[in-house]
Structure 1
Amino acid sequence: MTLPTTTRQYLYPQAKPDSFEALVVQEAAVSPPKANEVLVKTRAVSLQTIIAFIQFRDLMIAGGRYRGTFPPNLVPCSDMAGEVIAVGDDVTEWKVGDRVCASFLQDKMHNDSPTEQALGGAVHGVLTEYRTFPAQAIVAIPDHLSYEEASTLPCAALTAYNALLSGYAPLKAGDTVLVQGTGGTSIFALQFAVASGATVIATSSSDEKLKIATKLGAKHVINYKTTPNWGAEVLKLTNGVGVDHILEVGGNTTLSQSIAAVRQGGSITIIGLLGGVGDLPPPDIIVPCISKQIIIRGVFVGSVVQFKNMNKLISANIQATRPVIDKVFGFDEAKAAYAHLKSQAHVGKVVIKI
């Protein structure tokens, strides 16, 4: 096939944008892949909901509130799925027609690899029709997933997988897991926990969203608006024992409740700060952390190796782990997709089809 020489892509023309409304579409040149690269036609991009300490990363970048240094005319977004249309001379593991996702951290092959090349931030992102990637930084899509579904995997799914199934005390059948909210990462954590044979407790401020969590397999649900002391409610639901694992997305505003809800020797994995920076948690959390011997771990997405392992779990549990997509927008509707994400009306992921 004749390779494209140009691509349409979204970018921020100013060094520090103040809104996603600043996004513009421009054409850029596309070069053939280098010896160790693949050229990919982007089929779908999902907007990032929460990653590490960041609340709605794509919105923070759009609003100029994201830390770090960006390249000029930043192309946003980090989560994509697409089709390989050309491979470099030294590439043997990929062929034209392969369906792939790009790893969010292009330089993180293993758990202890560096994490400097984050798509849509430190390096240009994926909201573009065509893009080259290092051959070792892409992962095959599970056969049963559409491009739209697969585009949700690189950050939300991998963060949830890393949080629950890696680290010091991986999730096992029979454990109890608490997930906070119904964003992309929390929904994936719920699904992975159910697929692994765990019991799930889900929290949200919306009864309607909690109904969706129940349909996905949550055994217990708690509205934290009507039950602000939800840590005590979790203890009641677990006969005073507490849960084995908590996926902590609220940060400072919810950590005290998580510490109350976790069992002796349980794990709290911190992946977000949706409650805002604010004050640090009160000092009286130190004593229960010590007395309960709690494992507190921070997670920043994951590696290519973990991505491949996660896809094995997804392929082995097709129905339980199918990605939840709230709404799909067209390429020319990207700003509307950002607005929908900002509304926080979504359950699961917001996707842009290209």
Structure 2
Amino acid sequence: MHLLRASAFLTLLCVATAQPSWGAEPQVRRFELERAEKGYQLALRSTLKPVPAAGEVLVRIRAVSLNHRDLYVLQGMLPGDASGRVPVSDGAGEVIDVGPGVTRFKRGDRVATTFFENWNDGAPTVAGITSARGGDRAGVLAEMITTHEDGLVRIPDHLSYEEAATLPCAGVTAWNALFKHGHLNAGQFVLLEGTGGVSIFGLQLASAAGAKPVITSSSDTKLDRAKSLGAVGTINYKTFPNWDKEVLKATGGAGVSHVLEIGGKDTLPKALGSLAIGGHVALIGGLTGFDASLTTGQLSGRMGSMTAIYVGSREDFEALNTFVARHKLKPVIDKIFSFEEAPAAFEYLRSGSHFGKVVIRL
């Protein structure tokens, strides 16, 4: 994947079709990827209402949330031809029908989709990580979807559909980075880069666990909001280009025990410069590019460790939901768009104006 540039983004086209006919063959609306001059554009289509097969569940999608990966998909950065595929991985809704043999869910259950349809638990496998929705598999930007019952989780009772839709990718990623791989303990310092979905989830999870979040941003307004969510240190990286030194100051010289590294090549060296002895770096994203390089001494000199994080399994999602329910956490939603405004939602995410998650309500 390459550095996102404004010039590389496509103008999203909403291709209006005739209104669905709700007669003998009811139809539903969905957005599909349509080939454009570069990459893809969004096209609004109508299709026959899906019918769940054996082991499958029919879900009425009520809300979806966007991730930067969805922008990469539009740019055509994933291999193969995705023409006609439904984009977006993160959705929440209600079960309205079940196919033969389904035992995990019943009509009326409130559910969220897992990022990987076929990674239930255990270590990642090729089959599991090639079942990502909105990329390898059909996504959720549709009024109704069918999915195998194993590809869903129940959502915490205190969350709305909009809030629950923010969890499958960003929430699970932050959870795995901090707890499953980072083994977060209360009192430890955590470095969060920027104020997008993963970083804000990391801030909320770390704060709830009694850790000490330190967060960076180019906006003092966003940093003030981060303080209200539990950040003990805030650093404007435009004001302080050598922000790793400011991180060390904020931690009394000790450094951070955890880094959620989402910036890529421009941020990784400074993140390593902020690391405490024995600290852990979770490699998550590459907003400034994925071709970062480092010397082994930057990590081994601090006796640190590094893990590449690619979301997680259904088991990981369920562990996150248990934590969210126990602490009554409420995901931060920056803005909600209507289904018809989906192209505008993608553009808003691309602008970088958001704090937390961007959601589309159906």
Give me the TM-score of the superposition, normalised by structure 2: 0.90
Contact kept in structure 2, 1:199 and 1:218, CA below 8 Å: yes
- 1:134-159 per-residue CA deviation (whole Å, 9 max, x = no partner) reads 00110001000000111000001110
Task: Give the deviation of 1:244 after TM superposition.
Answer: 0.7
Contact kept in structure 2, 1:107 and 1:113, CA below 8 Å: no
Aligned residue in 2 for 1:290 = 300
- 1:161-190 per-residue CA deviation (whole Å, 9 max, x = no partner) reads 0100102x4101111111010000100000
Could you tell me how far apart the structure 2 residues matched to 1:313 and 1:326 are? 22
Q: CA RMSD in A?
A: 1.7
1:252 aligns to what SS in structure 2? coil
Aligned pairs for 1:77-156 (under 5 A) are 77-114=88-125, 115-156=129-170
Relative to structure 1, the CA distance from residue 6 to residue 12 in structure 2 (aligned partners, 3 Å threshold; closer, same or farther) is same
State whether structure 2 residue 319 is matched by structure 1 residue 305. Answer: no
Contact kept in structure 1, 2:32 and 2:83, CA below 8 Å: no
The aligned amino acid for 2:72 is: M
Could you tell me how far apart the structure 1 residues matched to 2:231 and 2:161 are? 27
State whether structure 2 residue 78 is matched by structure 1 residue 27. Answer: no
Aligned pairs for 1:233-248 (under 5 A) are 233-248=246-261
Task: Give the deviation of 1:69 after TM superposition.
Answer: 2.3
Task: Give the deviation of 1:336 after TM superposition.
Answer: 1.1
Could you tell me how far apart the structure 2 residues matched to 1:62 and 1:17 are? 11
Contact kept in structure 2, 1:5 and 1:31, CA below 8 Å: no
Aligned residue in 2 for 1:51 = none
Relative to structure 1, the CA distance from residue 28 to residue 244 in structure 2 (aligned partners, 3 Å threshold; closer, same or farther) is same
Task: Give the deviation of 1:228 after TM superposition.
Answer: 1.2
Residues matched between the structures, number: 337
Could you tell me how far apart the structure 1 residues matched to 2:80 and 2:239 are? 41
Aligned pairs for 1:1-354 (under 5 A) are 5-14=26-35, 18=38, 22-48=41-67, 56-64=68-76, 66-114=77-125, 115-167=129-181, 169-277=182-290, 280-282=292-294, 285-318=295-328, 321-354=329-362
Relative to structure 1, the CA distance from residue 44 to residue 3 in structure 2 (aligned partners, 3 Å threshold; closer, same or farther) is farther
Contact kept in structure 2, 1:178 and 1:200, CA below 8 Å: yes
1:74 aligns to what SS in structure 2? coil
Unaligned runs of 5+ in 2: 1-22
The aligned amino acid for 1:150 is: A
Mean alpha-carbon deviation: is it higher for 249-258 or for 77-86? 249-258
Contact kept in structure 2, 1:103 and 1:138, CA below 8 Å: yes
Quote the sequence identity (%): 44
2:223 aligns to what SS in structure 1? helix
2:159 aligns to what SS in structure 1? coil
Task: Give the deviation of 1:79 after TM superposition.
Answer: 0.5
Task: Give the deviation of 1:241 after TM superposition.
Answer: 1.2
